[in-house]
Amino acid sequence: MSSDNSSSLKAYVDSATGLVQSALGTLTGSTADKAQGEQTRTNAAASHDSSHAVGKFGPIAVSPSGGVSQDDPARAEGSWNQTVGSGKETLGNLVGSQDLKNQGIQQNAAGKGQEAQGQLSDLGNGMGDRVQGALGAGLAGLTGDKEGQAKYQDMHDDGKAKLRSAQKDIEREAQ
């Protein structure tokens, strides 16, 4: 799946390399080295952003490396319960029903818990799949098992999609 080599670690290394190269260019008076260092840092920033990108299509997430994952069902159920709970709360306010308003508040709170549980599940599973995929691909590569290497790379990429999807939703809700 992954022919795109976008990686946070690689981006950090490239950024540090560009910083050193730019500093050396400044110290030596070489505008070419300084410019190349700045370009390396710019490319590293773009690579970092790319490695954290994810396309969301409802409960389906796709990463730039081609990984695909489906959100934990608790995330959608929790979101639905939050929406219905907010509606009940609003309706309770409009018609003056404290009981309906309280039901809405409780359902909204329960939905937030469900969604958070699904997000934590996706974070954990995504990290686990990335680690298992990276280790498996590395071992398969050492033994020359190209088919196994591809299988584990797919696992890594799918884990990345799951992880980035959960992170994106958590960041969105934090704003």
Across the strands, what pairs with 61? 56, 69
The residue type found at 130 is: R
Contacts of 12 (CB under 8 A, 6+ apart): 44, 48
Note down pLDDT in tens along the chain; length 175 residues.
Answer: 444 444 666 666 777 777 778 788 788 888 888 788 788 777 766 665 555 567 778 888 888 878 899 999 999 999 999 999 999 999 999 999 999 999 999 999 999 999 999 999 999 999 999 999 999 999 999 999 999 999 999 999 999 999 989 988 888 888 8
Q: In what order do the strands lie in the sheet with 68-70?
A: 55-57, 60-62, 68-70
* pLDDT at residue 97, as a whole number: 96
pTM: 0.69
Look up residue 66 and give its DSSP letter: S
* pLDDT at residue 33, as a whole number: 82
From its phi and psi, is residue 29 left (phi > 0), alpha (psi between -120 and 50) or beta? Answer: left
* pLDDT at residue 8, as a whole number: 62
The residue type found at 122 is: D
The residue type found at 120 is: L
